[in-house]
């Protein structure tokens, strides 16, 4: 008798692809299994029970079993469809970028519950207009970089290890601040308010970001740092970055 290994997880649909005549391949970012690929039988048909729970951005509770190479979707229940994100171009673009970041930066099966929680929180905040979209994204980017080994070190000089409270220079070779005495190369100059804002974003949970007020120049400085690290260190550059830049112009 074959016993199926069933998994009950919570996750967000970050990507889908048509598969065979009526099925879908569905990429989920989950709390217990990390990023996984599943097959949803018959999900292309709008009357199929899997149709609504495999729409983009859908956050739900899913029951899966592990096949030879893929997980198979057995059951699903919507927690939040986040379909309101599809009705606004800005929200659609920012949430698409978040999902693309997860797809690009996280390996299959890589589990990080803290990052998953930040991702879900970010989706909820985008959906409710509580915070500035750019501040939300910069915060998530910084937390994602830290989770994947590219976290910025800002409390000590990354060259001499001397304690520093603030700097106006980030080394892109060592991913951190450089004191005034050390040589500066392979890095980017930023304003001291931007440096302090990055420290705040790294140490503050997503739902407390309303305390931070950042001007446009500071946002641009932070973006220079996160954009460079993301574009330089992962398998590909997020395509939705182009749309994001277009929206900001």
Residue 176 · residue 152 · CB < 8 Å: yes
Instruction: Give long-range contacts, CB 8 A cutoff, 24+ apart: 176-180.
Output: 176/152, 177/152, 177/153
6-81 and 86-248 share one CATH topology? no
What architecture is the 86-248 domain classified under in CATH? Up-down Bundle (1.20)
- From first to last of its 249 residues, what are the pLDDT tens digits of the chain? 345 689 999 999 999 988 888 888 999 999 999 999 998 887 777 777 788 889 999 999 999 998 888 899 999 999 999 988 998 888 999 999 999 999 999 999 999 999 999 999 999 999 988 888 999 999 999 999 999 999 999 999 999 999 999 999 999 999 999 999 999 989 999 999 999 999 999 999 998 888 788 999 999 999 999 999 999 998 888 888 777 777 666
Residue with tokens 């990429």: 27
Local structure of residue 35 (DSSP, 8 states): E
Q: Was domain 6-81 assigned CATH 2.40.50.140?
A: yes
Q: Show me where the domains of the chain are located.
A: 6-81, 86-248
| Distance (Å, whole) CA 155 – CA 19 | 49
């Amino acid at each position: 008798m074959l016993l199926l290994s069933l998994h009950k997880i919570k996750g967000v649909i970050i990507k889908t692809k048509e598969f065979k005549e009526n099925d879908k391949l569905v990429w989920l970012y989950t709390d217990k299994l990390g990023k996984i690929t599943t097959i949803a039988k018959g999900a292309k048909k709008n009357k199929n029970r899997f149709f609504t729970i495999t729409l983009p951005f859908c956050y739900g509770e899913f029951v899966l079993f592990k096949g030879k190479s893929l997980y198979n979707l057995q059951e699903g229940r919507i927690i939040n469809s986040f379909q309101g994100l599809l009705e606004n171009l800005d929200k659609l673009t920012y949430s698409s970028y978040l999902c693309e970041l997860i797809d690009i930066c996280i390996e299959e099966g890589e589990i990080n519950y803290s990052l998953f929680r930040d991702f879900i929180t970010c989706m909820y905040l985008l959906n409710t207009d509580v915070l500035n979209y750019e501040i939300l994204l910069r915060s998530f980017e910084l937390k994602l970089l830290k989770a994947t080994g590219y976290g910025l070190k800002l409390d000590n000089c990354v060259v001499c290890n001397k304690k520093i409270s603030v700097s106006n220079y980030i080394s892109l070779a060592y991913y951190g601040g450089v004191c005034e005495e050390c040589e500066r190369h392979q890095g980017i100059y930023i304003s001291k308010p931007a440096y302090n804002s990055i420290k705040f974003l790294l140490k503050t949970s997503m739902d407390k970001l309303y305390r931070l007020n950042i001007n446009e120049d500071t946002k641009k400085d932070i973006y220079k740092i996160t954009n460079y690290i993301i574009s330089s260190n992962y398998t590909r550059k997020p395509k939705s970055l182009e749309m994001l830049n277009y929206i900001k112009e």
